[in-house]
Structure 1
């Protein structure tokens, strides 16, 4: 199959970041950013949502030179979640109006972008009543016959088996891969099961600021293995930004995992984007 090199810039957890801030914190996400084919933002665009901050985020993303820009929400982007309400026992028309205005903004002309096929999800395990939650015993990503024992399947659009997708972007990480916190690893077991089934080329996310990094995961040859049983080994890769990292990936055997959180634990923009050259099928 013929392939073509596609350059991705991957960022996440910008939390109201604007160019100019990074210089104060000795960060590396400064203008001009390198040109890329596809910009991926893995969520947490703002601190708590809000139309004014969404507009600033769109303006910031608009200055990055990319042919295609794909953005998902995160748990901090509360008013993009139609089910989030800080007063769950009351119907709050103001919250509903803010949600509809925020969605219209991201679908409107100032956020206009080209189309692209990718599996995306803003959801992550429930945490402190933030947006886009699911419970730890709920599986959003696997069909009913592939969920772990004791888990409840709530998947409306399960991640397909290999070779159904090449790329995936979620806000939160899968279990035990770039999901470290000072207390424990907090990634999602169901996501690990889904990724091991899909064996896609690139999986990017954010959410866990302190676990920023990139790892090449190798899978066991037996494609019937799921979750931790399918995990074989990993290789840690450093960031070469602003130079691109050329990443050959053995499709079906390896998955490149990227935690792209720009902010550190103190919400300072100290982490660089990831600039990756990946071979994808030519269409």
Structure 2
């Protein structure tokens, strides 16, 4: 008699889902030094000063991965950005519903890019839809759709009110600020190349020298590698995008795709960050990196350079160039339901 595979044996041999966070115990066993490196970097950088926005500030409201849902309460702001995956199946009717909802919101400007689930928007994956799902066109209304495209916006901003009414009346002149936004949807492959849109083979460079140098806000669907992308044990973001963001250093980088990574962080482009990324890139299979001197050296550099930068910031008031990174995914984990907060940033 031949027995089929036992359920427990199948569960033990199946690979873990890379879009689910690895259990802490497994990380302690598989990547103990990288776990230390990761937490040392984020603990030190979290103690640094909050970046001061320009005056008057522009409020950016960031969402992503709504997957056919309409958010009941979207915070007020000057610009609303949607970083892709408006839908689940990517048909014209589903995309149009999202566009109709977005265009009804009161924000001055609305900017949208595609995600891998927005199938119709990629000509390569469009044929996977039924004919009735890809018949017709999308009416973008007042929504700016960016697909490897740059957009320049002039935003009228009123200075914040003061306690002195007379001074306030004289000073409250509306000022105009210009924002340069670049949006691109491509992601490292994570599914069927004929169904999921804008994919490229993982490891291929689809980013170098693609983002204009004067970009203020970069909008992508994929995260940069090692930033809000389930960085341990390997990271689901793109290493080539990470290099491109470092080259351009936009004020704000908005993305989504990895639902578990939702939130904000400030990346300071200094020696601490360089050591963090160098350490995270090291592949060491022997003894889980415990005997790798380069990994330990970069962990030490993160602590040493991080503390130096922290003192320079907090004691001397020094400021390094930075980028605010926002993973704006709205669907919580892989539940298919809204649960993550809307991200708001003043720049």
Contact 2:62 2:80 in 1 (8 A): yes
Name the CA shift for 1:217/1:34 in 2 (closer, same or farther; >3 Å). same
Shift of 1:220: 1.7
The yes-or-no answer on 1:121 pairing with 2:184 is yes
Residue 62 of structure 1 deviates from its aligned partner by 2.6
| Structure 1 residues 79 and 177: alpha-carbon distance in aligned structure 2, compared to 1, 3 A threshold | same
**Greater helix proportion:** 2
Q: Mark the structure with the bigger radius of gyration.
A: 2
**Pair 188,15 (structure 1): closer, same or farther in 2 beyond 3 Å:** same
Paired position in structure 2 for 1:166: 216
- Residue 77 of structure 2 is matched in structure 1 by 36
Change in Cα spacing, 1:5 to 1:128, as seen in structure 2 (3 Å) is same
Q: Deviations over 1:1-44 (max 9, x none)?
A: x853101100000000024xxxxxxxxxx33x332100000000
| Superposed counterparts of 1:197-208, under 5 Å | 197-208=247-258
Shift of 1:49: 1.1
Contact persistence 2:182–2:212 (CA under 8 A): no
Distance 1:13 1:181, change over 3 A: farther
- Report whether the alignment pairs 1:98 with 2:98: no
Which stretches in structure 1 are left out of the alignment for 5+ residues? 20-29, 144-157, 235-249, 279-283
- Report whether the alignment pairs 1:58 with 2:99: yes
1:228 aligns to 2:280 (yes or no): no
Partner residue, 2:59 = 7
- Whether the 8 Å contact between 1:177 and 1:187 is mirrored in structure 2 is yes
Matched, 1:263 2:319: no
**C-alpha contact 2:152 2:181 (8 A) present in aligned 1:** no
* Partners of 2:251 and 2:323 within 8 A in 1: yes
CA shift at 1:277, angstroms?
Answer: 1.3
Deviations 1:21-80 (A, max 9, x none): xxxxxxxxx33x332100000000000111221222122213322000000010000011
- Specify whether residues 214 and 71 from structure 1 end up closer, same or farther in structure 2 by C-alpha distance, changes over 3 A only: same
Residue 140 (str. 1) matches residue 206 (str. 2)? yes
- Looking at structure 1, the residues matched to 319 and 207 of structure 2 have their Cα atoms a distance apart, in angstroms, of 21
What is the TM-score of this pair, normalised by structure 1?
Answer: 0.69
Q: In structure 2, do the counterparts of structure 1 residues 42 and 98 end up closer, same or farther at CA, with 3 Å as the change threshold?
A: same
Greater strand proportion:
1
C-alpha deviations, 1:228-275, integer Å up to 9, x for none?
3599789xxxxxxxxxxxxxxx99711111000000121110011111
SS at match of 1:10: strand
Separation in structure 1 between the aligned mates of residue 57 and residue 237 of structure 2, nearest angstrom = 30
TM-score (norm 2): 0.57
Q: Secondary structure of the residue that 1:177 maps to in structure 2? A: coil
Q: Separation in 2 of the partners of 1:36 and 1:142?
A: 32
Change in CA separation of 1:210 and 1:93 when aligned onto 2, cut-off 3 Å: closer
**Structure 1 residue matching 2:266: 3-state secondary structure:** strand
